[in-house]
Amino acid sequence: DTGVSQDPRHKITKRGQNVTFRCDPISEHNRLYWYRQTLGQGPEFLTYFQNEAQLEKSRLLSDRFSAERPKGSFSTLEIQRTEQGDSAMYLCASSLGGDYTDTQYFGPGTRLTVL
């Protein structure tokens, strides 16, 4: 399978704990994106990387959230001191990048439940 993969698929945690998610993009893709999707809504952009550089961050990404892509391959998204409002599906996508024809391919998502 050469698609975008995410791990874990489900995470249940208690309020105040830290969690980390991993995303492995399609191998030749330079860009990697994180989105958040809550029930009944479309995905909302969080941040994206071009290789290892983080190019844009949404205002949704509070200082409790941090994302890295250390070698321009896989990426991690960490949430510190989780809150119940962080419960959502976290989606990763990747693309070749660059111009207006760019297509993003999505992984299956990590569903986070904060108790």
45 is a contact residue toward other proteins (CB under 8 A):
yes
Residue 90, phi then psi, degrees to nearest 5: -105, 120
State the Cα torsion 81-84-89-93 to the nearest 10°: -30
Among 21, 36, 48, 86, binds other proteins (CB under 8 A): 48
Residue placing its CB nearer to other proteins in the complex, 3 or 16: 3
Binding-site residue total for other proteins (CB under 8 A)? 27
Contact window for other proteins (CB under 8 A) among 17-25, 35-43, 63-71, 79-87:
35-43
41 is a contact residue toward other proteins (CB under 8 A):
yes
Please give the distance of CA 38 from its chain centroid, rounded to a whole number: 14
SS3 58: coil
Site string (55-94) toward other proteins, x via CB under 8 A: xx-x--------------------------------x-x-
What is the rounded distance in angstroms from the CA atom of residue 53 to the CA atom of residue 66?
13
Please report, for residues 45, 57, 60, 77, 78, the alpha-carbon distance to residue 63 in angstroms, rounded to integers and kept in the order given: 16, 11, 9, 12, 11
Footprint on this chain of other proteins (rule: CB under 8 A): 31, 33, 35, 40-45, 48, 55-56, 58, 91, 93, 98-109
